[in-house]
Structure 1
Amino acid sequence: MSPVLDGIRVVELGSGALSPQPGQTLGDLGAEVVKVEHGARGDALRPVDRQAVDNDLMAPAFAAANRNKRSICVDLATPGGEDVVRRLVERADVLLHDHGAPCIERLALGHADLAGGHPRLIHASISSAGSIGSTAAPSGHELLAQATSGLTHTGCGRGGHLPRSLPGTPVIYAASALLVQGILGALLERGRSGRGQEVTVSLFDTALAMQGSEVASLSMYGRSPGWDDLGYRATFTTRDGTVTVVGVVDADALGPLCRELGVDDLTERAEFSTPYLQARNGEAATALLAPAVAELTNLQALEVFETAGLACAPRLGLRTLLDGSSVGAGPLLVDVDVAGQPAAQLPRHPVRMSRSRAQTGRGVPALGQDTENVLAELGFVPGEIRALAGVGAIRPDADREIRSAANYV
């Protein structure tokens, strides 16, 4: 069975952390993705890991978001480079970019510029700003998107905890998934109307949407949702690990747990006498129960919590997870070819379909490795390709030229 996006052509025109993930997802689903990288330096994610670059290796951040793509190296500041990109877009189904409006307008690659001559094109973009414009996070930065959207304050709870950022890039990942959702919807609608359209998503709007319950509670009742009051929750340290416990909403958690641990029943104390008070005073209860749990192994603690009717799970570090010593991590990973070095095990596409499979046929490309082949497919003859390379409009040998770490500075 062919991948679901077999035959769909995507041009990814990005320079940072925003467009690679949706481009990779479209590639995983079978689209042919051509990644246009700037001729002077390549994608901004390529050099982000100094230790890897200094050892002539690919940055993990780039490898994690750029499989199933072809890479061409083009200098968009040259007329020849602009012509190459326009000819790419002319045959594309989707133009995906994370450039700001001034850059796209200068290149005449905006939706209004292209819709007349290419009415079937899906013009998709991902940015930092959204509904609130200039007050949103600049430069497409994950941490700033979290800060400006209120996400760092959400979940701070009681006790005067300072606002804190979520680790990783959850907003970028969520925004990327939403953009792909919009692109797929636009492709479906194009099948009926024969016309493309513009699809946009921003980090700010995404981060706000991730707080739907919080926004609803504030707008409806002027208060936070009160997550801390919905049930007893705790994290315990055991003899050989850590376990997280979640109690059922509006149910007695501490009574059964105390019985299974063989300790005094905390529910006889006023501050733990109801499920609501157990949730409100959960930190105090956990401190009292911690010595008993600390004498157990992880497996023993999990058995105690389950017998007490509490949902529970071990807290695993990523290294432990990937080592496969505690859970079957194998199905979650896939071997991906990485240009110029051994294959890497990376997270596979998380969507499972019964008849269509995500593809992993193309690995992570070296900078500009497909430049000559892609230009030949566009109709450029060898003499034209050599001429473009001669004036710096394209750089077919960019990867070899840029291997020196000094070139990244």
Structure 2
Amino acid sequence: MQEPSGPLKGLRVLDLTRVLAGPTCTQMLGDLGAEVFKIERPEAGDDTRGFAPPFVPKTKESAYFVGVNRNKKSVTLDIAKPEGQAIIHRMLEHCDILVENFKVGALAKYGLGWEQLKAKHPRLIYCSITGFGQTGPYAPRPGYDALIQAMGGVMSLTGEPNGTPQKVGVPVADLFAGLYGCIGILAAVNHRNATGEGQQIDIGMLDTHVAWLANQGMNYLATGENPPRLGNQHPNIAPYQEYPTKDGYIILAVGNDPTFERFCKANGLEHLLADERFATNPKRVQNRQLVTDTLTPVMKSKTTAEWIEALEALKIGCGPINTLEQVFADPHVQARNMVLELPHATGETVTVIANPVKLSATPPDYRSPPPVLGQHTEEVLGGLLGLPATEIAVLRERGIL
């Protein structure tokens, strides 16, 4: 494993997370240069190691696990046993940040809760990521992505108008919670740099989900009316949706009135500009079905490629609806280096999605692939803690490691 580089170089993270929200947070920290020690259950490891198929080709590693666990050192440790807890306490003497996503109160049973650690480790930054946060009536409940999408309102906004509520096709509740957790940690690091004080960061998935309701949440607060499901249409802009073309579909994004005027004049639709139902964006939003019905036959007159060429020349927002095969083959995605290959402990090469944060002076650091289970146990316990090989062997025999 290469030495860390990046803006967080020198920071050490004790990673007590699994599945997606927590590992998303800690991978981001690792990409930015922090040294991350991922604590996993002996033999079983992170649950997502078993979230398969698919596996990464020629390995026994699930694609799910590999996607959010690079730049981490895997240490197997049973924290339910006193010996495992003692090792965690020793590791904390060398770590700056602890990230966990256990149920509320679970780590306190092992003497590893925030209230138990803060006096002994006053500089510790302790980030808890749970379904519903550390307080409130739902705090004891487990949190799952689909559950949070349902309770957080986004499912009521997603889907066709006459269809059933739909969740987003990727686990956005988990991902946003992890990213908000990372933001909170970076703020806490800055605070500690100024004051020397650590603190707890309380991330609830439902909280973060409510926060990113964004314009739709504000639409409700402004009107008291639940926004309806609109399929692929925009609640505040029209036309801004998918349209059928001669050979497929395209997204047409007309963001303002001058853009709509250019669209109309280029496509023989000048008469619409004199129709008050089309004259301004608020009117088009009020008459969105009329706008859709009027433009649909126009959009069907050309192929997707013909529309993209014509609309880009007019500086009108547009784009194809890509499959993932088309996404990863897209020349822009490739030019932005959004896919990378890492040598894996199995001897194979694993292909992963890159970090999207482009930093001019301290870019993301891809120094190690996702680890195999327990790959770094001896290295960390021997090197960081100075445990002799004989003691490590005894711990392994007793099932602690």
Structure 1 length-normalised TM = 0.85
Question: Out of 317, 321, 326, which is 2:327 matched to?
Answer: 321
Structure 1 gaps of 5+ residues are 395-409
1:260 and 2:266 are equivalent in the alignment:
yes
Question: Residue 94 of structure 2 corresponds to which residue in structure 1?
Answer: 91
TM-fit CA distance, 1:250:
4.7
C-alpha contact 1:261 1:293 (8 A) present in aligned 2: no
For 1:43, the aligned partner's letter is: D
Judged with a 3 Å threshold, the aligned counterparts in structure 2 of structure 1 residues 156 and 222 are, in CA distance, closer, same or farther, namely farther
Q: 2:355 aligns with which of 329, 349, 360?
A: 349
* More moved, 330-339 vs 32-41: 330-339
What residue in structure 2 maps to residue 205 of structure 1? 207
Aligned to 1:172: 174
Superposed counterparts of 1:198-237, under 5 Å: 198-223=200-225, 228-237=235-244
Deviation at 1:85, TM superposition (A): 1.9
Contact 2:103 2:141 in 1 (8 A): no
Shift of 1:296: 2.1
Corresponding letter in the other structure for 1:193: T
Contact kept, 8 Å, 1:234 with 1:283, in 2: the verdict is no
Query: Alignment length, in residue pairs?
Result: 392
Q: 1:382 to 1:151 in 2, by over 3 A?
A: same
Alignment of 1:333 onto 2:339: yes
SS state of the match for residue 231, structure 1? coil
- Percent identical pairs in the alignment equals 28
Q: Counterpart amino acid of 1:105?
A: A
Query: Deviation of residue 269 (structure 1)?
Result: 6.9
What's the offset of the Cα at 1:315?
A: 2.2
Q: Is the 8 A contact 1:12 1:95 kept in 2?
A: yes
1:388 maps to: 395
Matched, 1:37 2:40: yes
Distance 2:189 2:306 in 1: 52
Distance 1:362 1:30 in 2: 11
The answer on whether the counterparts of 1:257 and 1:304 sit within 8 Å (CA) in structure 2 is no
Residues 307, 91 of structure 1: CA spacing in aligned structure 2 closer, same or farther, 3 A cutoff?
Answer: closer
2:117 matched to which residue of 1? Answer: 114
The Cα shift of 1:123 comes to: 0.9
- What is the CA–CA distance in structure 1 between the aligned matches of 2:359 and 2:159, rounded to whole Å? 37
- The one of 126, 131, 135 aligned to 1:128: 131
Asked whether 1:304 is paired with 2:310, we answer yes
1:364 Cα deviation after fit:
0.8
User: Does residue 282 of the first structure (1) align with residue 253 of the second (2)?
Assistant: no
Deviation sequence 1:265-319 (CA, Å, 0-9, x none): 5567786565444334434443444344334232321233346663222222221
Instruction: Please identify, of 294-303 and 354-363, the stretch whose mean Cα deviation from structure 2 is larger.
Output: 294-303
| 309-318 or 222-231, larger mean C-alpha shift | 222-231
- State the one-letter code of the partner of 2:266: E
TM-aligned CA distance change 1:137 to 1:242, over 3 Å:
farther
Structure 2 unaligned spans of 5+: 229-233
Q: Is the 8 A contact 1:136 1:204 kept in 2?
A: no
What SS does structure 2 have at the residue aligned with 1:58? Answer: coil
Distance of 2:247 and 2:331 partners within structure 1: 14
Structure 2 equivalent of residue 374 of structure 1: 380
Specify the SS of the correspondent of 1:180. helix
CA RMSD of aligned residues (A): 2.9
Shift of 1:94: 0.6
User: 1:5 & 1:81 partners in 2: Cα distance?
Assistant: 27
